[in-house]
Amino acid sequence: MDFKVADLSLAAFGRREIQLAEHEMPGLMAVREEYAKAQPLAGAKIMGSLHMTIQTAVLIETLVALGAEVRWVSCNIFSTQDHAAAAVVVGPEGTPEDPKGVPVFAWKGETLEEYWWCTEQALAWPGGDGPNMILDDGGDATLLVHKGAEYEKAGAVPSTGEDDPEEWGIILDLLRRTVTDEGRWTRIASRIKGVTEETTTGVHRLYEMFKAGTLLFPAINVNDSVTKSKFDNKYGCRHSVLDGLNRATDVLIGGKVAVVAGYGDVGKGCAEALKGQGARVIITEIDPICALQAAMDGFQVTTLDEVVGIADIFVTTTGNFNIITADHMAQMKHNAIVSNIGHFDNEIDMAGLARIPGIEKTEVKPQVHTWRFPDGKQIIVLAEGRLMNLGCATGHPSFVMSNSFTNQVIAQIELFTKTGEYPIGVYVLPKHLDEKVARLHLDALGVKLTKLTKAQAEYIGVDVEGPYKPEHYRY
């Protein structure tokens, strides 16, 4: 088996944590039981690009339990938990000397070159084949396949790309080496039945590609299952934003001024958590609806320029770029904490910060750095501007990820087994499946659901068994 992880001797520790996580992931375990016999993913070759954590290990082993062959990478250079990666490679039946699990290419603290190398490895199936399914988080695996196929069609790889020039240089170098006249990426793309996408940012990319007519295979937008974005993005971040701040800095949050940029699902969770710790939370927003929600929830809403000099903690949650500029950082208080929990690192202008003449970067510990300005003032930047809850802590806890990942497994089964029903496009799972995911998590929390009477169901115009809400309902 080919793989590359940090240290296989961590596998036993990883396995013990996987066993604890399985108990906290009732949705995934119920799906394993429901489909154990039918093996709906037999024949599926799933390439996954999603934070290689303990929770993801339970997802991977669920896909395998349903018959899939799997190869995996992390979708962020800092988010791998090395013991989880080791345990997945070794597998429940293997040993570090004789691993019998799943090929993983991921370790905590990859360089960007290594990150894209890993992505390419996981897309290269032994025997020259590619995968026939992608499970993506943020869209990097989907992007590599699409760009490879696009440049093969054009007959050349361009010399510069979009977005971050450093990262694009690395992607283009990789493609220059791997684009072939026989159309290696075109062949990979043509075999793929579909992709299931985990997060807001990746979903955004998929809709853009579909609109531009460049999407090469169908996609299920897992993020917009209600049991994903209204749970993982909100309650998951409500938990893990504090975990990131605490593990990175251990600063007392009560009494501090915290700015949360963006009041979408992630911003709502972060703001509630910081408020719960006693911080005075200030929101920035561009959308009048979300700004009004924040105001009604009791938060001051203003612009970053107004409060940049008084805040102690900054968290960006927008999925947009250039939210905190180098100029903003120069105006911050001494030891202000600057962090991002959105998918990509461009929410904070790290490149601009590094260009300030005389600025000095010091590592306090991995993923925590001080940046000292020439006037002696410094700020603390978490996870180099990458998602701080996975870079500085261990991401969301198992129970909330069980909701997200149960959607992922159901979406993989949908696209793999009903390919003909999904022409190229971007779809969300039907509401009855969304309700099913929620239902699978109720018992564990001791929730007793009220059952509709037939007459009540008729009165509100739904089926006794659901779905209970129209498509336009917003929760």
**How many angstroms separate the CA atoms of 94 and 207, rounded?**
41
Question: For residues 46 and 323, which CB has a smaller minimum distance to ligand NAI in the complex?
Answer: 323
Nearest to residue 73, comparing CAs of 112, 32, 104, 38? 104
CB 343 within 8 A of CB 318: no
Q: Which of 62, 74, 142, 233 binds ligand NAI (CB under 6 A)?
A: 233
Tokens 């961590």 belong to 10
Q: Which of 146, 193, 256, 343 binds ligand NAI (CB under 6 A)?
A: 343
Least gap, CB of 203 to ligand NAI (angstroms): 8
Q: Which residues does residue 455 pair with via DSSP β-bridges, in sequence order?
A: none
Q: Is 227 annotated as a binding residue?
A: no
Residue span 46-65 as binding mask against ligand NAI, x where in contact by CB under 6 A, dash where not = --------------------
CB 316 within 8 A of CB 359: no
Q: Is 93 annotated as a binding residue?
A: no
Q: Does 261 bind ligand NAI (CB under 6 A)?
A: yes
**How many angstroms separate the CA atoms of 64 and 47, rounded?**
12
Q: Is 266 annotated as a binding residue?
A: yes
Q: Is 340 annotated as a binding residue?
A: no
**Torsion sign over Cα 438, 222, 108, 382:** negative
Instruction: Choose the binding region for ligand NAI from 111-119, 280-288, 358-366, 421-429 (rule: CB under 6 A).
Output: 280-288
- For 402, the 3-state DSSP assignment is helix
Instruction: Choose the binding region for ligand NAI from 33-41, 110-118, 187-195, 258-266 (rule: CB under 6 A).
Output: 258-266
Token pair of 50, please?
Answer: 């999603």
Instruction: Choose the binding region for ligand NAI from 22-30, 95-103, 315-323, 458-466 (rule: CB under 6 A).
Output: 315-323
Nearest to residue 124, comparing CAs of 108, 107, 97, 148? 148
Q: Is 53 annotated as a binding residue?
A: yes
Q: Does 201 bind ligand NAI (CB under 6 A)?
A: yes
Q: Is 472 annotated as a binding residue?
A: no
DSSP letters spanning 201-257? HHHHHHHHHHHHT---S-EEE-TTSHHHIIIIIIIIHHHHHHHHHHHHH----TT-E
Least gap, CB of 85 to ligand NAI (angstroms): 18
Question: For residues 101 and 319, which CB has a smaller minimum distance to ligand NAI in the complex?
Answer: 319
> For the purposes of burial, counting CB atoms within 10 Å of the CB of 357, is it exposed (0-12), middle (13-18) or buried (19 or more)?
exposed
Q: How many CA atoms lie within 13 A of 102 on its CB side?
A: 30
Q: Which of 46, 206, 387, 409 binds ligand NAI (CB under 6 A)?
A: 387
Q: Please report, as residue ranges, which positions from 450 to 469 form the binding site for ligand NAI (by CB under 6 A).
A: none
Which residues are marked as active site?
A: 51, 74, 79, 137, 198, 223, 228, 232-233, 237, 343, 396, 404, 408
Q: Does 225 bind ligand NAI (CB under 6 A)?
A: no
Least gap, CB of 77 to ligand NAI (angstroms): 14
Q: Does 292 bind ligand NAI (CB under 6 A)?
A: no
Question: For residues 163 and 287, which CB has a smaller minimum distance to ligand NAI in the complex?
Answer: 287
Contacts of 383 (CB under 8 A, 6+ apart): 78, 244, 248, 339, 340, 367, 390, 391, 392
Q: Using the 8-state DSSP alphabet, how is residue 360 labeled?
A: E
Token pair of 34, please?
Answer: 């429901």
Least gap, CB of 470 to ligand NAI (angstroms): 21
Tokens 């917003």 belong to 474
Instruction: Choose the binding region for ligand NAI from 28-36, 337-345, 368-376, 431-439 (rule: CB under 6 A).
Output: 337-345
Q: Does 199 bind ligand NAI (CB under 6 A)?
A: yes
Q: Does 308 bind ligand NAI (CB under 6 A)?
A: no
Q: Using the 8-state DSSP alphabet, how is residue 97 labeled?
A: T
Q: Is 297 annotated as a binding residue?
A: no
The 3 state secondary structure assigned to 150-177 is HHHHHCCCCCCCCCCHHHHHHHHHHHHH
Token pair of 388, please?
Answer: 């701080």
Least gap, CB of 267 to ligand NAI (angstroms): 6
Axis crossing angle, helix 112-123 with helix 165-178, rounded to the nearest 10: 40
Least gap, CB of 268 to ligand NAI (angstroms): 8
Q: Does 287 bind ligand NAI (CB under 6 A)?
A: yes
Contacts of 247 (CB under 8 A, 6+ apart): 392, 393
- For 136, the 3-state DSSP assignment is strand
Q: Which of 55, 200, 225, 412 binds ligand NAI (CB under 6 A)?
A: 200
Q: Is 384 annotated as a binding residue?
A: no
Least gap, CB of 307 to ligand NAI (angstroms): 13
**How many angstroms separate the CA atoms of 106 and 58, rounded?**
16
Q: Is 62 annotated as a binding residue?
A: no
Q: Does 290 bind ligand NAI (CB under 6 A)?
A: yes
Annotated binding site for substrate: 53, 137, 198, 228, 232
Q: What residue ranges bind ligand NAI (CB under 6 A)?
A: 199-201, 229, 232-233, 236-237, 261-267, 284-287, 290, 317-320, 323, 341-343, 387, 389, 395-396
